[in-house]
Chain A
Amino acid sequence: MYEYLTPSEFIPVRIIFLIAFATAMYFFAIRVKFLFAAMKLGVEDPKPRFDDPGKRVTSVLTFVFGQKRVLMFLGGIGHFTIFWGFLMIAFATSELLVNAIFPSVNFWTMVPGFPIVGLIVDIISLCVIIAIVISLIRRFAFKPVRLEGPKSGMYDALIILGLITTLIITYFMMGGMRISAGEINPAFAPISNLFTGIMPAAVEGSVGSTAKLVFGILWAIHLSSLLFFIYYIPRSKHLHLLGAIPNIYLRDFGTTGAINKMDFEKLEEEEAEVFGVQEVEQFTWKQLLDGYACTECGRCQEQCPAYNTEKPLSPKILVHEMKEHLLERAPVILAEGKLDMEKTEELKEKYEILNKSMIGNVFSHEFIWSCTTCQACQTACPVWIEHVQLIVDMRRYLVLTEAAMPSEAELAMRNMEKNSNPWGIGNHKRAEWAEGLDVPVMSALEEPAEYLLYLGCSAQFDEENKGIAISTAKILKAAGVNFAILGEEEMCCGETARRLGNEYLSDAMMQGNVEIFAGYNVKKIITVCPHCYNTTKNEYPQYGGDYEVYHHTEFIKMLLDQNKIKLNKKVDLGNLVYHDSCYLGRYNDIYDQPRSLIQAATGKAPTEMAKHHKFSFCCGAGGGMMWMEEEEPRINVRRTEMAIDAGADTICTACPYCRTMFLDGVKVKEQENIKCVDISQVIADAME
């Protein structure tokens, strides 16, 4: 019966289809080959990317097919629907593809159970149409932050959504006609059945009839759309359909807290002239793949503290422009071979693109220096792109190769070089806070203490934050913990230098610290600063320093659970909001201990600000921004406003930098009645 409607029963149609199909596949293949070659221009990636296939497959199932990260946000339901709808339609449409070559094939009648699939496709297709309509309304009527940015993405999206809509509408129309021709049981195609009455009815034996003509046209539109899709995907932002799966498979399973280490010995041997990433092909192949995986969904941008305070940085633009630039530049390298400075000069006339160096042209210095490394972008990214390393790699180029950094950053670096703290205060003043407190110092002990209390620069040099060091030491003493500080021997952990891109400096600092720690046989470390915490815990292993590291909130919680400390009173701090530090929360997943300590000390759970837990909003100090002057509007002021909006009487932090930023924020907002306290101070108070 169905042959009434099948255009492919005409041999010329079949031949034309085959040619069209082969052409589409050919263009698809050469593009994919090019994309692969372009990606391979990247350098070796230092992280394990292929280990443990089991967990990687699970990860793909969770994040690609389960769309776990897409569904973190409400808007994700739309994508989920379109994604699955598209997969189903593609599957259903495969029938038409096979049928186009073998006219006698009909899945509906030949494949058992296919009508069930057909039913699902039929219904989900309607959902897709609804999702598309909603997404268009959202995009144009509400203009969400995350979709701000280059218009090219918007046109791309419109083309793709148009194509999907065309596929679905033609599918419904053809379905309706096939129902009237008796090819499909209307019970399994309720939506298509709605079109049955509208479409010209198929009449048996009516070769050349209107129905046949109309069906032929729909068939041609449907299949051309599909073939165009095949051609178009790798050439549009919907490249992510191809990029996302491998990117999620290859994602970093290690801690997100560790920045890649540079091997200076090797670089010196190679007599390297460029350090860090100046040109796009100096990124690793995996970083380039990140570009292919990006959908420009903008969830990163929506979370980014820099973008949300009118800074030039957008993590979406970062990844998008990196990809665009790669795709422009790769053909030159693929044709001419590796480009060095000399060769680039020679070829500049021949290739316009070579006049455009990535740093300075694609990404401005201001763009690169706006990042607080807070990782909100990475946490929001549905396809596991690693933005922060991209920024640090480019900062490395600026600092190490060009020595081009904001003057305040340079000053902080010089200070760290000379006095091992970003303020440049004499390091002999590091332990002045401990005078008269009888805090054990490693060098004065016969046997090294079990725990090293590593306090870091802020809690020891900043008059305002010395209270954190004092409270923590008091708590540990009260609990009878066998601990000691390093005193004047303590050096800066190197975190700031590293995030500022000065790997040469941080390398020396980290090596030095691992040696100092080894001198006291340090195995366990307690830190009060999440930056020290992250670095000693996640980055020192790169230098052979493997320690059991505790943030003071973790450790104090332990002491409390073990009844080693007693809270003698409830501290009344009014309405207390807790601010999740990026390096504690997002970086190291510590959310509960601070909250339960607050609960224990004040008798009630902290109030949550508009943004909290893994989507906490950075205080503005990370990534070395603590030492730089930020243009207004400032991140710390924005965050303070969130605390004020939550009705805070007290802002409780677990990071000295955050505390400094809030102290400044409440002054700017002239809300100095709002107290800013560290958790250790609250606990020490409750113990009195």
Chain B
Amino acid sequence: MKTIVLIKQVPDTETKVKVNPGETDINREGINLVLNPYDEFAAEEAIKIKEAKGGEVVVCTLGEKKAEEAIRTALAMGADRAIRLDGEAFAGSDNYATAKALAKAIEKEGDYDLILCGKQAVDDDSAQVGTLVAEMLGIPSASLVINCEVGDGSVTITREIEGGNQELEIAMPCLLTAQKGLNEPRYPSLPGIMKAKRKKLDVLSAGDLGLGADEAGAAGSKTAIKELSMPPERKAGQVFEGEPEEIVPKVAQLLREEAKVI
């Protein structure tokens, strides 16, 4: 059984996001990069499946050299080897072009039974790439998976739907995107971390994947970022003192009209 895990290195969710006016990326100075937390669930699931059924787990990402830190995290958890896609050709990739590159890499790798990835990356919050990859490979997929049982030639999964759960049986090979609740990712052990340093990591370019100039990067993208902006500053908290009969309705109204949460 071969499982491919698609991962992404992202800024930690606690990171202070700063945008310089007119730029298309956030200010990355001093930002702490981590393995996307949802991809961690995917990696954990893949490793658990390997432990139960045997086989191997291959990690794949599109990202700069620095992204190898995230790869090493997945390898330290127990993945066997990794592929990193890098090169100028990939610059400016949107979700579509990213998915295309990953799909090509997976085709090249071949012989896979299952592809796992997070439900979304916590940087762009798009929740697209996994499903795009599946469609591009022509395999079935399910998103928001919170339980997964690997059977013979198919997987039975539970996925989140609005107000409940749905149980699906999907023929393999297939792709699943992991939602919180799927498992508890393990904390890498030190022997795992040490071994990860010696595990195989291939770096492939667009050329290695046979991607044409119009298929990768900005040229292969269907959308582009025009600019980034900051949300209006969170207003300082308002504290009300006085008669409950007066202040509580006032807060209820603010929740409705200002915060728009009820």
Question: Which residues of A are at the interface with B, using a C-beta cutoff of 8 A?
Answer: 268, 271-275, 400-403, 405, 407, 410, 413-414, 418-419, 424-428, 504
Determine which of A271, A400, A401, A403 lies in contact with B186 in the assembled complex, contact meaning CB atoms within 8 Å: A403
Asked if B191 and A504 make an inter-chain contact with CB atoms under 8 angstroms apart, the answer reads no
Give every chain A residue within 8 A of B160 (Cβ-Cβ). Answer: none
Smallest CB-CB separation from A417: which chain B residue?
A: B34
Asked if B189 and A418 make an inter-chain contact with CB atoms under 8 angstroms apart, the answer reads no
Asked if A405 and B187 make an inter-chain contact with CB atoms under 8 angstroms apart, the answer reads yes
Interface residue? B190 (CB, 8 A): yes
7 A–B contact pairs at CB < 8 A? A400-B189, A418-B12, A418-B32, A419-B14, A424-B14, A427-B14, A504-B190
Please judge, given known A-B contacts A419-B14, A425-B14, A426-B16, whether A403 and B187 are in contact too, CB under 8 Å: yes
Asked if B187 and A413 make an inter-chain contact with CB atoms under 8 angstroms apart, the answer reads yes
Give every chain B residue within 8 A of A400 (Cβ-Cβ). Answer: 189-190
Asked if B190 and A401 make an inter-chain contact with CB atoms under 8 angstroms apart, the answer reads yes
Asked if B190 and A426 make an inter-chain contact with CB atoms under 8 angstroms apart, the answer reads no
Digit string of B188-209 for contact with A (CB within 8 Å is 1, else 0)? 1111111000000000000000
Closest beta carbon of chain A to B196's beta carbon, Å: 12
Give every chain B residue within 8 A of A426 (Cβ-Cβ). Answer: 12, 14-16
Please judge, given known A-B contacts A418-B32, A424-B14, A425-B14, whether A268 and B187 are in contact too, CB under 8 Å: no
Asked if A419 and B32 make an inter-chain contact with CB atoms under 8 angstroms apart, the answer reads yes
Complex: A400 Cα to B186 Cα, angstroms:
12
Digit string of B25-60 for contact with A (CB within 8 Å is 1, else 0)? 000000010100000000000000000000000000
Complex: A402 Cα to B192 Cα, angstroms:
10
Asked if A414 and B190 make an inter-chain contact with CB atoms under 8 angstroms apart, the answer reads no
Asked if B189 and A428 make an inter-chain contact with CB atoms under 8 angstroms apart, the answer reads no
Closest beta carbon of chain B to A447's beta carbon, Å: 24
Complex: A407 Cα to B192 Cα, angstroms:
19
Asked if A504 and B193 make an inter-chain contact with CB atoms under 8 angstroms apart, the answer reads yes
Smallest CB-CB separation from B189: which chain A residue?
A: A403
Determine which of B12, B15, B187, B191 lies in contact with A273 in the assembled complex, contact meaning CB atoms within 8 Å: B191
Complex: A271 Cα to B16 Cα, angstroms:
39
Digit string of B161-197 for contact with A (CB within 8 Å is 1, else 0)? 0000000000000000000000010111111111000
Determine which of B14, B15, B188 lies in contact with A403 in the assembled complex, contact meaning CB atoms within 8 Å: B188
Complex: A80 Cα to B192 Cα, angstroms:
53
Complex: A602 Cα to B227 Cα, angstroms:
60
Asked if B187 and A410 make an inter-chain contact with CB atoms under 8 angstroms apart, the answer reads yes
Asked if A418 and B191 make an inter-chain contact with CB atoms under 8 angstroms apart, the answer reads no
Known: A273-B191, A426-B12, A427-B14. 16 other contacts (CB 8 A): A272-B194, A274-B191, A400-B189, A401-B189, A402-B189, A405-B187, A410-B187, A413-B187, A414-B187, A418-B32, A418-B34, A419-B12, A419-B14, A419-B32, A426-B14, A504-B190
Complex: A407 Cα to B14 Cα, angstroms:
20
Complex: A425 Cα to B188 Cα, angstroms:
22
Query: What size tier do the contact residues of chain B reach?
Result: 10 to 19
Q: What 9 A-B pairs come out closest when comparing CB atoms?
A: A426-B14, A400-B190, A428-B16, A403-B189, A403-B187, A418-B12, A275-B190, A410-B187, A419-B14
Digit string of B2-20 for contact with A (CB within 8 Å is 1, else 0)? 0000000000101110000
Closest beta carbon of chain A to B199's beta carbon, Å: 14
Give every chain B residue within 8 A of A405 (Cβ-Cβ). Answer: 187
Smallest CB-CB separation from B194: which chain A residue?
A: A268
Closest beta carbon of chain A to B64's beta carbon, Å: 20
Determine which of A273, A413, A418, A504 lies in contact with B14 in the assembled complex, contact meaning CB atoms within 8 Å: A418
Q: Tell me which of B15, B189, B190, B192 has the highest count of chain A C-beta atoms within 10 A of its own C-beta.
A: B190
Complex: A91 Cα to B39 Cα, angstroms:
74
Give every chain A residue within 8 A of B16 (Cβ-Cβ). Answer: 426, 428
Asked if B187 and A275 make an inter-chain contact with CB atoms under 8 angstroms apart, the answer reads no
Closest beta carbon of chain B to A548's beta carbon, Å: 30
Give every chain A residue within 8 A of B15 (Cβ-Cβ). Answer: 426, 428
Closest beta carbon of chain B to A409's beta carbon, Å: 9
Closest beta carbon of chain A to B230's beta carbon, Å: 15
Smallest CB-CB separation from B187: which chain A residue?
A: A403
Closest beta carbon of chain B to A465's beta carbon, Å: 20
Complex: A418 Cα to B14 Cα, angstroms:
9
Complex: A275 Cα to B189 Cα, angstroms:
10
Give every chain A residue within 8 A of B193 (Cβ-Cβ). Answer: 504
Smallest CB-CB separation from A410: which chain B residue?
A: B187
Closest beta carbon of chain A to B86's beta carbon, Å: 24
Closest beta carbon of chain A to B92's beta carbon, Å: 28
Give every chain A residue within 8 A of B188 (Cβ-Cβ). Answer: 403
Complex: A400 Cα to B190 Cα, angstroms:
5
Digit string of B212-253 for contact with A (CB within 8 Å is 1, else 0)? 000000000000000000000000000000000000000000
Give every chain B residue within 8 A of A425 (Cβ-Cβ). Answer: 14
Complex: A413 Cα to B190 Cα, angstroms:
14
Give every chain B residue within 8 A of A402 (Cβ-Cβ). Answer: 189
Complex: A403 Cα to B190 Cα, angstroms:
8
Complex: A407 Cα to B183 Cα, angstroms:
13
Smallest CB-CB separation from B76: which chain A residue?
A: A403
Closest beta carbon of chain A to B220's beta carbon, Å: 33
Please judge, given known A-B contacts A403-B186, A418-B32, A418-B34, whether A275 and B191 are in contact too, CB under 8 Å: yes
Complex: A378 Cα to B187 Cα, angstroms:
32
Complex: A72 Cα to B184 Cα, angstroms:
49
Smallest CB-CB separation from B15: which chain A residue?
A: A426
Complex: A449 Cα to B34 Cα, angstroms:
34
Closest beta carbon of chain B to A262's beta carbon, Å: 10
Give every chain A residue within 8 A of B187 (Cβ-Cβ). Answer: 403, 405, 410, 413-414
Give every chain A residue within 8 A of B32 (Cβ-Cβ). Answer: 418-419, 427
Smallest CB-CB separation from A413: which chain B residue?
A: B187
Smallest CB-CB separation from B193: which chain A residue?
A: A504
Complex: A44 Cα to B186 Cα, angstroms:
32
Give every chain B residue within 8 A of A424 (Cβ-Cβ). Answer: 14
Complex: A414 Cα to B190 Cα, angstroms:
14
Give every chain A residue within 8 A of B34 (Cβ-Cβ). Answer: 418
Complex: A279 Cα to B124 Cα, angstroms:
48
Closest beta carbon of chain A to B45's beta carbon, Å: 17
Smallest CB-CB separation from B33: which chain A residue?
A: A418
Give every chain B residue within 8 A of A418 (Cβ-Cβ). Answer: 12, 14, 32, 34
Closest beta carbon of chain B to A516's beta carbon, Å: 13
Complex: A496 Cα to B184 Cα, angstroms:
23
Complex: A401 Cα to B192 Cα, angstroms:
8
Give every chain B residue within 8 A of A410 (Cβ-Cβ). Answer: 187
Smallest CB-CB separation from A488: which chain B residue?
A: B30
Smallest CB-CB separation from A420: which chain B residue?
A: B32
Closest beta carbon of chain A to B49's beta carbon, Å: 19
Closest beta carbon of chain B to A206's beta carbon, Å: 80
Q: Tell me which of B184, B187, B194 has the highest count of chain A C-beta atoms within 10 A of its own C-beta.
A: B187
Give every chain A residue within 8 A of B191 (Cβ-Cβ). Answer: 272-275, 401
Closest beta carbon of chain B to A250's beta carbon, Å: 30
Smallest CB-CB separation from A489: which chain B residue?
A: B30
Smallest CB-CB separation from A276: which chain B residue?
A: B190
Give every chain A residue within 8 A of B194 (Cβ-Cβ). Answer: 268, 271-272
Give every chain A residue within 8 A of B12 (Cβ-Cβ). Answer: 418-419, 426
Give every chain A residue within 8 A of B192 (Cβ-Cβ). Answer: 403
Smallest CB-CB separation from B12: which chain A residue?
A: A418
Complex: A400 Cα to B189 Cα, angstroms:
5
Give every chain B residue within 8 A of A273 (Cβ-Cβ). Answer: 191
Complex: A218 Cα to B95 Cα, angstroms:
97
Smallest CB-CB separation from B190: which chain A residue?
A: A400
Complex: A127 Cα to B16 Cα, angstroms:
73
Complex: A123 Cα to B178 Cα, angstroms:
81
Give every chain B residue within 8 A of A272 (Cβ-Cβ). Answer: 191, 194
Give every chain B residue within 8 A of A504 (Cβ-Cβ). Answer: 190, 193
Give every chain A residue within 8 A of B186 (Cβ-Cβ). Answer: 403
Closest beta carbon of chain B to A39's beta carbon, Å: 28
Complex: A410 Cα to B188 Cα, angstroms:
11
Closest beta carbon of chain B to A181's beta carbon, Å: 74
Give every chain A residue within 8 A of B14 (Cβ-Cβ). Answer: 418-419, 424-427
Smallest CB-CB separation from B16: which chain A residue?
A: A428
Complex: A229 Cα to B190 Cα, angstroms:
48
Closest beta carbon of chain A to B10's beta carbon, Å: 11
Closest beta carbon of chain A to B129's beta carbon, Å: 23
Closest beta carbon of chain B to A229's beta carbon, Å: 48
